[in-house]
Structure 1
Amino acid sequence: MQWPDPEPISSERLLLEPLSVTQAPAMVEVLADPALYQYTGGEPPSLDVLRERYAVHTRGQSSDGAQWWLNWVVMLRDSRKPVGYVQATVEDDGSELVADIAWVITPRQQGRGIASEATQGMIGWLRSQGVGRFTAYIHPDHLASMGVAQNQALHATSVQRDGEIRWES
């Protein structure tokens, strides 16, 4: 399937710019706080790791074309400083397009509704591309991410994967 390229998205306070490898240096600082990995595991990535990761993500789809990979850097509109990212992996489940979504905002900017605003913008764009359903996997102790999911009209299910709960629309 031929998937469209991600486009810039804007909201009241934010700009979502399609991911590029050139954004890696700025994102190293955004992703440097170890607190970001409390629920997801892992550690802050190096510049080389981010460049490699972004090179893969910007391909836009899996090698077999079954998944559409969309990634945006979240920037504050007034300063154009990056504060995190949102992403979606879209698949056709046979009846509709389904997006598994995620969001990451630097701890320095959390608690201001940025993740919800960015995710809402991404979902709006995905809906305009024909995506009909949304899922997210959230650690059962990550209350802030649960709030973001609820703000997007997602609800928790009984499905678990790797210790995380599936939320869906």
Structure 2
Amino acid sequence: MMWPAAELLDTTRFLLEPLFEDHADEMVDVLAFRDLYHFTGGEPPTPEVLRVRYARQSTGSSPDGKAGWLNWIIRTKTSGQPIGFVQATLTGGGDQLVADLAWLITPPAQGSGAAVESSAAVLAWLKGRRVRSVQALIRPDHSASAGVAQRLGLSPTSVRIDGEVLWEAKFPYS
């Protein structure tokens, strides 16, 4: 399957740059806060780990080709500094594309609306690529992410996967 490639996205306050391996060095500081791993587990990555991860993610698809990988670094227009990322994993095909959406904002920029503004730009871009539905997995006690999902138009479902609530939105096409 030919998956769409991430493109530069522009919002009022942010530029969303398609991910490249070279982003690793500057993203290490963005991802260095231990609080970021409270809900997901893990620990801040080293530059080497991040380079390997970004090299793999920037290929645009899973090794077997069954999923499209779209990743953007969020950069503020005022300072040019990165503050987080948005990613979408595409599955399905034809007019039945599904996007699994995720976002992360570094703690100093949290609460600024960056996750909503950036993720909304990605959602608009995905709609233009005939993505039929968007979903996100969110821990039940992660009220900030639940708030982002709700502002993006996603609703919680009764589905639980590994202790997380599946949120989703379907997009009609004529």
TM over 0.5: yes
Which string of whole-angstrom CA distances, capped at 9 and with x for unpartnered residues, describes residues 39-70 of structure 1?
11111000011001001101101122211000
Residue number in structure 1 paired with 2:167: 167
Q: What SS class does the counterpart of residue 84 from structure 1 fall into?
A: strand
Whether 1:40 and 2:65 are equivalent positions in the alignment is: no
Question: How many residues get paired?
Answer: 169
- Paired with 1:14 and 1:132, the residues of 2 have a C-alpha distance of 26
% identical aligned pairs: 49
Residue number in structure 2 paired with 1:153: 153
Q: What SS class does the counterpart of residue 118 from structure 1 fall into?
A: helix
Q: Give the 4+ runs in structure 1 shifted more than 2 A.
A: none
Residue number in structure 1 paired with 2:96: 96
- Paired with 1:62 and 1:77, the residues of 2 have a C-alpha distance of 31
Q: What amino acid is the match of 2:26?
A: A
Residue number in structure 2 paired with 1:50: 50
Shift of 1:78: 1.3
Which string of whole-angstrom CA distances, capped at 9 and with x for unpartnered residues, describes residues 61-108 of structure 1?
112221100000001011110000000000116751100000000000
Residue number in structure 2 paired with 1:25: 25
Q: Is the 8 A contact 2:101 2:136 kept in 1?
A: yes
Gaps of 5+ in 2: 170-174
Q: What SS class does the counterpart of residue 3 from structure 1 fall into?
A: coil
Matches within 5 A, 1:116-131: 116-131=116-131
User: Please, what is the CA RMSD of the aligned residues?
Assistant: 1.1
Matches within 5 A, 1:53-92: 53-92=53-92
Shift of 1:4: 2.3
Residue number in structure 2 paired with 1:3: 3
- Paired with 1:155 and 1:57, the residues of 2 have a C-alpha distance of 28
Q: What SS class does the counterpart of residue 61 from structure 1 fall into?
A: coil
- Paired with 1:8 and 1:40, the residues of 2 have a C-alpha distance of 27
- Paired with 2:163 and 2:108, the residues of 1 have a C-alpha distance of 26
Gaps of 5+ in 1: none
Q: What SS class does the counterpart of residue 66 from structure 1 fall into?
A: coil
TM-score by length of 1: 0.97
- Paired with 2:121 and 2:48, the residues of 1 have a C-alpha distance of 29
Residue number in structure 1 paired with 2:172: none
Residue number in structure 2 paired with 1:107: 107
Q: Is the 8 A contact 2:15 2:77 kept in 1?
A: yes
Q: What SS class does the counterpart of residue 17 from structure 1 fall into?
A: strand
- Paired with 1:32 and 1:69, the residues of 2 have a C-alpha distance of 23
